[in-house]
Amino acid sequence: MLGSGGQGTVHAVPNRLIDGRWPVAYKEYDRTTLGRVDRPVLERLVELPGRLAEADARLLHERTAWPVAVVERGGRLAGFLMRQVPPVFDTPLRLTTRYVQKLAQVQLLLNTDDYLAARDLAIDDVFRLGFLLDTARAMADFHRLGLAVGDLSPNNLLFSRETVPRCFFLDCDAMRLDGASALPQIETTDWEVPGGQGEELTTPASDAYKFTLLCVRLLAGDQSTRDAAAAQRAGADVHELVDRGLDRAPTSRPSLAEWIGPLQRAVEAARAQPRISATVPPGPGPGVPDAAPTAAGPPPSRATRPPGRPAPTRPPTATRPVTRSPRRAGTAGKVALAVVLLLCGVTRISSCVDDPHSGPAADERSTMSGDGPRQPSTASRDQAAVLAEILARSKQDRRTIAPAVEKVTRCLDPTGAAADFRQAGAGRREVLSRVTAIETDQLPRGAELHANLVSALRHSAAADDAYARWASAVARHGCGSSAMRGTDRRTGDRESRAATAAKQRFVALWNPFARQSGHPVLSYRDI
């Protein structure tokens, strides 16, 4: 086992191919999810390729990790087989002094140009618009086949860095087929539809809204913006689609098919513009960063590229015709669990509560006065040492938040999540009491530094408390109830955003001095 899927664990299945071509993986549901799976709908998803024309069946297998067979243990549902993630969607990521091999999740691209360049992820608008075009085409085809994606988020959508960018969808057992769903519908934090409880989830209209968010955020290099202005540089037609796509009224949003023509024209217009660098520079592609990367900045020169990786600008390989699966409607494949061995590497990264957007660290602006930075005094070093020790404790508390979010949003253990949030909140208040008592007057802009840290911790504690109430309400009323998107959730999100803003201001003041005094440079996600 090498990882987990949205509601369970994913393994590779050796020596098995779909239609003699695509390697197979097995997704084993966890115990909590098994009780919520609608097996007849899951079997309909498995049977779907066999009911389609050959070209449409091939489309599903090429675009998605589609369920292809139900797996039983002791006569009971255990999980399903699906296609493994193709290698082109699993690429290296530059860290501090090395590269790691990770999934190319779209969440990585929703960051600033400096952040992307520091990780060898540099892209331009030709790539961005080309990826959006490919995704729009795939989703338009899904809608034509009676499918709705639903939880379209940067975690379960992958990208390739071939000459022509491509998309690939994970967690396909959560898609709806002709209005029926094998799993309860959920939404990723900050990717919710705007209609609140009045809008139905997982419809072509909700897909249209979330695709519009993807368009705006990819063009803006931002994890959470909803500002349509970012689409202006893609041309008037795309900008007009974004304005319509962000409408709160589902019937006002353009279909995915309407995006194709304007995006094609936008790609051609972007290609005609002079470019400083290629869409994808020679070197490794993107992946998923460590849970708490350091503040963004120029990458160290000692990082060693992994050997044997083809240049990502290579042309795509030719595709072969795919023979149609022998399965037919009405018979879902059943496969013995004994064939299952190792994982193929399909992961799902949860959102973070204090910072539900996994963007880069805040800009680090110099806080020193005069012609150049002053050397820290003994008094300032002493105050910094006390503050650094407190920040280390805050970082430890912070690590409990992301797993707690996953427990609630995936309905894995909301009761346990509530306890985790309460524990984190208690830790924040302890850190807050210590911060309130220390002196920072000898640090550069010490009063401002102190005020921002106090504000960040207060808002974080308030967010933890609200999320604890949210998790408890979900545990009491059920994952399909209105509690999942109720007042406590919204309060937690609001406090979390305020905390993030204060943290960004703090690290921008702290990091330049930390470098001089030998203390850790922080990302705002470390607080």
What is the count of structural domains for the chain? 2
Most confident of 139-143, 486-490, 500-504, 512-516: 139-143
pLDDT digits (tens, 9 = 90+) for 133-144: 999 999 999 999
- What value does the mean pLDDT of the chain take? 78
pLDDT digits (tens, 9 = 90+) for 357-395: 333 333 333 333 333 344 557 778 788 888 888 887 676
For residue 255, what is the DSSP state? P
The DSSP result for 434-491, as a single string, is: HHHHS--TTSTTHHHHHHHHHHHHHHHHHHHHHHHHHHHHHHHH-TTSGGGGSHHHHH
Cα–Cα distance for residue pair 226/190, rounded to 1 Å = 10
User: What global pTM score does this model have?
Assistant: 0.57
Length of the chain in terms of residues written: 527
Give 352's pLDDT tier (boundaries 50, 70, 90). Answer: very low
> What pLDDT score was predicted for residue 383?
87
Distances in whole angstroms, Cα of residue 298 to Cα of each of 17, 295, 314: 43, 10, 26
State which of 217, 242, 272 marks the end of a domain. 272
Q: Is 324 helix (H, G, I), strand (E, B) or coil?
A: coil
Same domain (yes/no): 385, 511 = yes
Cα–Cα distance for residue pair 37/45, rounded to 1 Å = 12
The CATH number that applies at residue 254 is 1.10.510.10
More confidently predicted of 18 and 168: 168
CA 265 from chain centre, in angstroms, equals 28
> What pLDDT score was predicted for residue 216?
96
State which of 272, 287, 309 marks the end of a domain. 272
Mean local confidence (pLDDT), 237-252: 93
Q: Is the pLDDT of residue 299 over 60?
A: no
Has residue 437 been placed in a domain?
A: yes
Cα–Cα distance for residue pair 411/471, rounded to 1 Å = 9
Has residue 236 been placed in a domain?
A: yes
State which of 222, 252, 272 marks the end of a domain. 272
Most confident of 270-274, 404-408, 493-497: 493-497
Pairing state of beta strands 22-29 and 8-18?
Answer: antiparallel
Residues 6 or more apart whose CB falls under 8 angstroms from that of 494 comprise none
> What pLDDT score was predicted for residue 282?
34
Has residue 308 been placed in a domain?
A: no
Give 9's pLDDT tier (boundaries 50, 70, 90). Answer: low
Same domain (yes/no): 256, 388 = no
CB 506 within 8 A of CB 524: yes
Percentage of residues in the chain with pLDDT exceeding 90? Answer: 38
Has residue 325 been placed in a domain?
A: no
Segments forming the whole domain that contains residue 394: 378-526
> What pLDDT score was predicted for residue 365?
31
More confidently predicted of 208 and 401: 208
Nearest to 4 by CA among 210, 160, 156, 151: 156
Has residue 16 been placed in a domain?
A: no
Helices (H), 321-445: 378-398, 401-409, 414-437
Mean local confidence (pLDDT), 492-501: 89
